[in-house]
Chains A and B, each alone.
Chain A
Amino acid sequence: MLPLTQPVRKLEPWQDPNEKPYIQIENISKSYGAIQAVKGVSLSIYKGELFSLLGGSGCGKTTLLRMLAGFETPTAGRILIDGIDVTNWAPYQRPVNMMFQSYALFPHMTVYQNIAFGLKQEKLSKTQIHERVQWGLDLVQMLSFAHRKPHQLSGGQRQRVALVRSLVKQPKLLLLDEPLAALDKKLREQTQFELVNIQESVGITFVLVTHDQEEAMTMSTRMAVMEEGRIRQIGVPHDVYEFPSSRYVAEFIGTNNIIEGLVVEDEPDHVLIESQEAGCFVYATHAASMPIGTHVAIAIRPEKVMISTTPPAGSRNCTKGVVREIAYLGDMSIYYVELESGKVIQSSLPNLLRLSERDVKWDDEVYLFWRAENGVVLAT
């Protein structure tokens, strides 16, 4: 069983100053008349990455992808692939291939012909084409389907053909437009693993566009969260999840409790925030330096918020409230606790004990607390 994330190295390529980015997107903008779909996006993607563009609909991620593929021309900015400026290149000139959301398999051609199409454009010999097509079909275990037509395949099978059709061309960059959107949940999970495995074995740089956070977090080496044409945060999934840089990202990825307060103490190793909302002092260790009196927001993940019926030691990072709702999700439960100020904080706990055996029930008065390093002070 292959590991899902990259094997641990001393330095990741984006951390290594000597490493040159494989794909360089410089200040790309795209406007349609008065509407700006992409506003000044800059991105560096390194070779062999599985990079995700994550965002809601209308955030510009698909436009950015299409600009990488060559179907849209940027209004401003440059795109460099392996050092070459391809901004004005047509799609058929670029060493980039795309897997479309609808798969776009040619209905009048067989699976074999579909896969061979791209190779024919490269003017390869018949033997070469045959070899590559066989390799491709073998990669996704579709050898026996070579002579079927797309309408005779299932959704998952069509997706595999679409993927292989692009892979056999050995592009420098493979773009995937919401690859798992059309699949049901079970198939999605399975395909996530398969895609990552294929990517690692073939070694091609992937750029993925998705609105599904789980997908982005499970599969990517790094991800970028986009909103309204701009990039809000780039990082490895772990960093984006644990250390969101803005309120938008904090609320977009998973669920988050956002507490607002004023800075009362600013020291090199910590920041102390007084929150009326939470009715307590928040002692946060992960924070930039900021002047006293600044109004800030702190994000605390529900799974980091602990519940107890007995008051914990210490008065910081802990508050009191009443359990209003318990959402039972099978593997875990989410407790909605209403504080004195009326604010509701979520706390999620795995169901180690069955519901009847637990000591926290509806309308119980409970104490919520979290560790100092789990509160993230948000920049905006």
Chain B
Amino acid sequence: MRKMSYSGTVSLIIGYAFLYLPILFLIIFSFNESRLPGVWVGFSTKWYHLLFDNEELLAAVLTSFQIASMSATSAMILGTLAAVSMVRFGFFRGRTLFSGMISAPLVMPEVITGLALLLMCVTFERLIGWPSERGMMTVTIAHTTLAMAYVYLIVQARLQDFDRSLEEAAQDLGAKPIVVFFKITLPLIAPSLLAGWLLAFALSLDDVVLASFLSGPGATTLPILIFSSLRLGITPEINALAAIVVGIVSIGVTIAGFVMVRKKR
């Protein structure tokens, strides 16, 4: 048995090194004076200055955040409605089709989803004149459709675990189903709704394929910008951006961790 635990520890060390060393180097070299990623020349924060001076980049960040908030909120609402329908309602017509549709975005390669949505936008434009051009709205629609499936997954898992007798007791006490949902179910599944929202937000913020298919002039998202600059080669400004993102995420997770630990007490 001892051998097992050693091999376990060794594999963990290898694994975590694999995961974290690249990011670590990225951050270290964001402070590199030189442009070349391999050679350490000296300490400098010039890339950070360049980053904050880059107006295009800052505009892209704003756009991304806007799209992410909108799509996360709509995905959360739609995903929750879908989860409630599937878990709480018995059989209804079209249930199989619905269950297939709701989980298909999870398996479908994004290039296909992106292509499909773009074609639909073009067709709609020809038929009814909307959407007149591709931009923030179309990207939001795409992100919502994808994120919905994830929110559904999370909320559905929580709803299945949910103690039905609480809802029954509320009904028994005279509350109509809508009241039961808003006063009893919703407050108790709120954490998973929040989790779904955060997940949808992160998804949207990070997506490049759907955004590329569905955005237009004036709606450049951050990932699109980064992607195009990556194709040109290595730019240390991206290192600086990476370091900032990693910093924000780590702080966020640490805070969340503290909040959860305090809640447990």
- The answer to whether A and B touch in the complex, with CB atoms under 8 Å apart, is yes
Q: Please report A residues at the B interface, Cβ cutoff 8 Å.
A: 69-71, 90-92, 96-98, 100-102, 104, 106-108, 117-118, 121-122, 165-166, 169
A118→B163 contact, CB < 8 A: no
A92 and B168 in contact (CB under 8 A), knowing A106-B184, A108-B187, A108-B188?
Answer: no
The answer to whether B166 has its CB under 8 Å from any CB of chain A is yes
A-B contact pairs, 29 of them (CB 8 A): A71-B168, A91-B172, A92-B171, A92-B173, A92-B174, A92-B175, A92-B176, A97-B172, A97-B173, A98-B168, A98-B172, A100-B165, A100-B168, A100-B169, A102-B163, A102-B165, A104-B168, A106-B170, A106-B184, A107-B166, A107-B188, A108-B187, A108-B188, A117-B173, A117-B175, A121-B175, A122-B174, A165-B173, A166-B172
A98 and B188 in contact (CB under 8 A), knowing A121-B179, A169-B174?
Answer: no
A104–B176 alpha-carbon span in the complex (Å): 17
A165–B165 alpha-carbon span in the complex (Å): 15
Q: Which of B163-197 contact A (CB under 8 A)?
A: 163, 165-166, 168-177, 179, 183-184, 187-188
Nearest residue (CB) in A for B169 is A104
Residue from B172, B183, B188 whose CB has the most chain A CB atoms within 10 Å: B172
A121–B170 alpha-carbon span in the complex (Å): 10
A69–B188 alpha-carbon span in the complex (Å): 24
B188→A169 contact, CB < 8 A: no
Closest beta carbon of chain A to B256's beta carbon, Å:
20
Cβ 8 A contact of A91, one of B171, B183, B184, B187:
B171
| 8 new A-B contacts at CB < 8 Å, known A71-B171, A92-B174 | A69-B168, A69-B172, A104-B163, A106-B169, A106-B170, A108-B188, A117-B183, A118-B173
Contacts of A106 in B (CB 8 A): 166, 169-170, 184
A104–B168 alpha-carbon span in the complex (Å): 9
Closest beta carbon of chain A to B158's beta carbon, Å:
14
A106–B166 alpha-carbon span in the complex (Å): 7
B174→A118 contact, CB < 8 A: yes
A70–B172 alpha-carbon span in the complex (Å): 8
Contacts of B172 in A (CB 8 A): 69-70, 91-92, 96-98, 166
Residue from B166, B169, B175, B179 whose CB has the most chain A CB atoms within 10 Å: B169
Closest beta carbon of chain B to A94's beta carbon, Å:
8
Contacts of A117 in B (CB 8 A): 170, 173, 175, 183
Q: Please report B residues at the A interface, Cβ cutoff 8 Å.
A: 163, 165-166, 168-177, 179, 183-184, 187-188
Nearest residue (CB) in A for B168 is A71
Closest beta carbon of chain A to B174's beta carbon, Å:
4
Closest beta carbon of chain B to A177's beta carbon, Å:
9
A107–B168 alpha-carbon span in the complex (Å): 14
Residue from A98, A100, A121 whose CB has the most chain B CB atoms within 10 Å: A121
Nearest residue (CB) in A for B180 is A92
A106–B168 alpha-carbon span in the complex (Å): 11
Closest beta carbon of chain B to A113's beta carbon, Å:
10
Closest beta carbon of chain B to A78's beta carbon, Å:
20
Contacts of B169 in A (CB 8 A): 98, 100, 104, 106
Cβ 8 A contact of B166, one of A98, A104, A165:
A104
A271–B179 alpha-carbon span in the complex (Å): 64
A121→B173 contact, CB < 8 A: yes
Contacts of B171 in A (CB 8 A): 70-71, 90-92
Closest beta carbon of chain B to A307's beta carbon, Å:
50
Nearest residue (CB) in A for B184 is A106
Closest beta carbon of chain A to B9's beta carbon, Å:
38
Which 6 interchain pairs have the tightest Cβ spacing?
A118-B173, A121-B174, A104-B169, A104-B165, A91-B171, A92-B171
Contacts of B165 in A (CB 8 A): 100-102, 104
Closest beta carbon of chain A to B101's beta carbon, Å:
28
A121–B166 alpha-carbon span in the complex (Å): 16
Residue from A70, A91, A96, A165 whose CB has the most chain B CB atoms within 10 Å: A91
Contacts of B183 in A (CB 8 A): 117
Contacts of A102 in B (CB 8 A): 163, 165
Nearest residue (CB) in B for A94 is B172
A96–B168 alpha-carbon span in the complex (Å): 13
Nearest residue (CB) in A for B190 is A108
A71–B166 alpha-carbon span in the complex (Å): 13
Contacts of B173 in A (CB 8 A): 92, 97, 117-118, 121, 165-166, 169
A121–B173 alpha-carbon span in the complex (Å): 7
Closest beta carbon of chain A to B24's beta carbon, Å:
42
Nearest residue (CB) in A for B188 is A108
A96–B172 alpha-carbon span in the complex (Å): 7
A100–B168 alpha-carbon span in the complex (Å): 9
Closest beta carbon of chain B to A74's beta carbon, Å:
17
A148–B184 alpha-carbon span in the complex (Å): 18
Nearest residue (CB) in B for A66 is B168
Contacts of B170 in A (CB 8 A): 106, 117
Closest beta carbon of chain A to B154's beta carbon, Å:
20
